[in-house]
Amino acid sequence: MENDQTSVHVSLPHGGGYPILIEWGCIDRLGSLLRRESIEGEVFLLSDRKVWGLYGDALEAGMEASGYRILEKLILEPGEESKSLANWMAALDRLVALEDGTARSLFLVNLGGGVIGDIGGFVAASYRRGIPCVQVPTSLLAQVDSSVGGKTGVNHPGGKNLIGAFYQPRLVVADLKTLKTLDPREVRSGLVEVVKYGLIWDAAFFAYLEENFGRVLDLEEEALRKVVRVSCEVKAAVVGRDEKEQKGLRTLLNLGHTFGHALEAATQYRQYTHGEAVAVGTLCATWISVALDMLPSAHYARILSLFERIGLPTRVSEAETDRLWEAMKRDKKFIHGRNRFVLLDEIGKARVVEDIDPTILEQALEAHLHGNTDS
Please report, as ranges, the residues that interact with ligand GLY according to CB under 6 A: 145, 149, 151, 250, 253
Query: Residue 192 CA to chain centroid, in angstroms?
Result: 10
Q: Is 193 a catalytic residue?
A: yes
Contact set for ligand NAD, span 39-58 (CB under 6 A) = 48, 50-51, 54
Q: Which is nearer to ligand GLY, 229 or 250 (CB)?
A: 250
Rounded least distance, CB 257 to ligand GLY, Å: 8
Q: Is 211 a catalytic residue?
A: no
- The answer to whether residues 52 and 75 touch, using CB atoms and an 8 Å cutoff, is yes
- How far apart are alpha carbons 251 and 373 in whole angstroms? 31
Q: Check 225, 226, 229, 235 and give the catalytic one.
A: 235
Q: Enumerate the H helices of the chain as residue ranges.
A: 30-36, 49-65, 85-97, 114-126, 140-141, 184-201, 203-217, 221-241, 257-266, 274-291, 297-310, 318-330, 358-366
93: helix, coil or strand? helix
Rounded least distance, CB 202 to ligand NAD, Å: 19
Rounded least distance, CB 342 to ligand NAD, Å: 14
Query: Residue 365 CA to chain centroid, in angstroms?
Result: 24
Q: Is 257 a catalytic residue?
A: yes
Nearest to 2, CA basis, from 221, 229, 230:
221
- How far apart are alpha carbons 198 and 230 in whole angstroms? 9
- How far apart are alpha carbons 375 and 373 in whole angstroms? 6
Q: Check 87, 155, 254, 339 and give the catalytic one.
A: 254
- Binds 368: which of ligand GLY, ligand NAD, none (CB < 5-8 Å by kind): none
- How far apart are alpha carbons 301 and 306 in whole angstroms? 9
- Binds 28: which of ligand NAD, ligand GLY, none (CB < 5-8 Å by kind): none
> Pattern of binders to ligand NAD over 111-140, x per CB under 6 A?
-xxxxx-x-------------------xx-
- How far apart are alpha carbons 278 and 295 in whole angstroms? 19
Task: Write a three-state SS string for 299-332.
Answer: HHHHHHHHHHHHCCCCCECHHHHHHHHHHHHHCC
Q: Note whether 79 binds ligand NAD by CB under 6 A.
A: yes
Burial class (CB in 10 A: 0-12, 13-18, 19+), 329: exposed
**DSSP per-residue codes, 191-211:** HHHHHHHHHHH-HHHHHHHHH
- Binds 51: which of ligand GLY, ligand NAD, none (CB < 5-8 Å by kind): ligand NAD
Q: Is 196 a catalytic residue?
A: no
Q: Check 196, 225, 261, 368 and give the catalytic one.
A: 261
Q: Is 129 a catalytic residue?
A: yes
Q: Is 250 a catalytic residue?
A: yes
- How far apart are alpha carbons 264 and 270 in whole angstroms? 8
Which residues neighbour 153 within 8 Å (Cβ) at sequence distance 6 or greater? 83, 118, 119, 121, 122, 161, 162, 163, 164, 165
> Pattern of binders to ligand NAD over 169-198, x per CB under 6 A?
---------xx-xx---x------------
Q: Is 351 a catalytic residue?
A: no
By Cβ distance, which residue is nearest to ligand GLY? 253
- Binds 141: which of ligand GLY, ligand NAD, none (CB < 5-8 Å by kind): ligand NAD
**DSSP per-residue codes, 55-87:** HHHHHHHHHHHTT--EEEEEEEPSSGGGSBHHH
Contact set for ligand NAD, span 238-297 (CB under 6 A) = 274
- Binds 113: which of ligand NAD, ligand GLY, none (CB < 5-8 Å by kind): ligand NAD
Rounded least distance, CB 140 to ligand NAD, Å: 8
Q: Check 83, 226, 257, 368 and give the catalytic one.
A: 257
Q: Which is nearer to ligand GLY, 50 or 250 (CB)?
A: 250
Q: Which residues are catalytic?
A: 129, 151, 193, 235, 245, 250, 254, 257, 261, 274
Residues binding ligand NAD (CB under 6 A): 48, 50-51, 54, 78-80, 83, 112-116, 118, 138-139, 141-142, 145-146, 149, 151, 161, 178-179, 181-182, 186, 274
